[in-house]
Chains A and B, each alone.
Chain A
Amino acid sequence: MSYMKEFTKGLIKENPNLVMLLGMCPTLAVTTMAENGLGMGLATTFVLVCSNLVISLLKKVIPDTVRLPCFIVIIAGFVTFVSIMLDTFLPDLSEALGVFLSLITVNCIILGRAEMFACKNKVIPSILDGLGMGLGFTCSLIVVGAVRELLGTGKIFGMNVAPDFIEPMTIFILPAGGFFTLGCVIAVLGVITRKKPKKIDCAGCPARESCSKPEKAEGV
């Protein structure tokens, strides 16, 4: 049963994207269409599962002091593999994701899970954790992508759903719409789960030990 928990916690309760606020860059950049969100989410999930698997296998071999560079190299290896595969088999998607495909390497979700989970746990929980977190990330990308695509172009997954007389609001596929939609999705999730939306925190940030948190601005 505890295996099940490792898998499901990433979906909503500890959603890496909407609750833990990791990996925001791709969330904003590729979600002009739900389809791109799906592609990006699955590519990230693949890298996350593979890197969790390898890192949990190698956790005894990797010296503690150089673990971050080792993790990054392992992750970058899988990212290279994924980007070559997508280039060959899905060139359209690869073009739409652009630089952000390579930037999966520095997605804090992957490094965060390696640091917080995979290097302390056994292989099977690590794989399930990676799968859950990856799918949670994919879901949030699809939700943000679908909202932006529907409001910005009147389509979902490329299919026309809005009646013709409604003028699409182009602002939603512009960068400003991305920030706005993501803010609203996080707020809605916060209301649904009836938890106070978390302040931005540093859990999972590899440098959190050396980081001094800036004080909140003083009120007048």
Chain B
Amino acid sequence: MELVKNLMVILFTGILTENFILNKFYGICPFLGVSKTTNGAVGMGLAVTAVMVGASAVTYPIYHYVLLPLNIEYLKTICFILIIAAFVQTVEMILKKYVPPLYKSLGVYLPLITTNCAVLGVTILNIDNEFGFIESVANALSGGIGFLLVMVIFSGVRERISRCDVPKALEGTPITLIAASLTSLSFVGFSGIVDGIFGG
């Protein structure tokens, strides 16, 4: 039961109170770049979630059974980024060969994921927080779902903005960032919800 409760806390924290985009500022580039339409946002969100979960599952054993015993844990940044690059490439090839329709819809977003700091960020956070294997995967999953959620919400906000008359100085990026600020503010409303549900 303790594990289940832990996992639920990680899930709720990652999705609502410490959202990857709005609270921790991971993956701002795709957030600003790909959130123009809801379809693009969903595709990017799903692809990032899959890669984050996969990368966490792969980096955990490598860190604990290769880097730690050899005392070269300071190489983790180099090692993880290579794993992520290789992982993204593999996913791309597998999808291309076996699931062409999915590849077609996700394909354009896959290469962008290597340089998405959410992916490298979550693998390093797992190590820094000393999560176990299941917790690491749950953390990646919650981060990914949180990412997807905010991307979708924000794509709606942007579609509205694109139909509005914005002051000239704020056109383009500035108004997007200010809208992101308001979205972030609305997520502050969730603070304390985890303690409220699970009793601290």
Contact = CB atoms under 8 A, between A and B. Distances in A.
Interface residues of A, number: 60
B24 A73 contact: no
A174 interface: yes
Interface in A174-220: 174-180, 182-184, 186-188, 190-191, 196-200, 202, 205-207, 210-212, 214-217, 219-220
Interface stretch (A52-60, A105-113, A116-124, A157-165): A105-113
B2 to A, nearest CB: 27
Interface residues of B, number: 56
Given A99-B128, A200-B176, A180 B120 contact: no
A206 B81 contact: no
A178 B180 CA distance: 10
A21 interface: yes
B178 A183 contact: yes
A199 B24 CA distance: 24
Interface of A: 21-22, 24-26, 28-29, 68-69, 72-73, 76-77, 79-80, 83-84, 98-99, 102-103, 105-108, 111, 171, 174-180, 182-184, 186-188, 190-191, 196-200, 202, 205-207, 210-212, 214-217, 219-220
Interface of B: 22-29, 32-34, 36-37, 39-40, 74-78, 81-82, 85, 107-108, 111-112, 114-117, 120-121, 124-125, 128, 158-159, 162-163, 169-178, 180-182, 184-185, 188
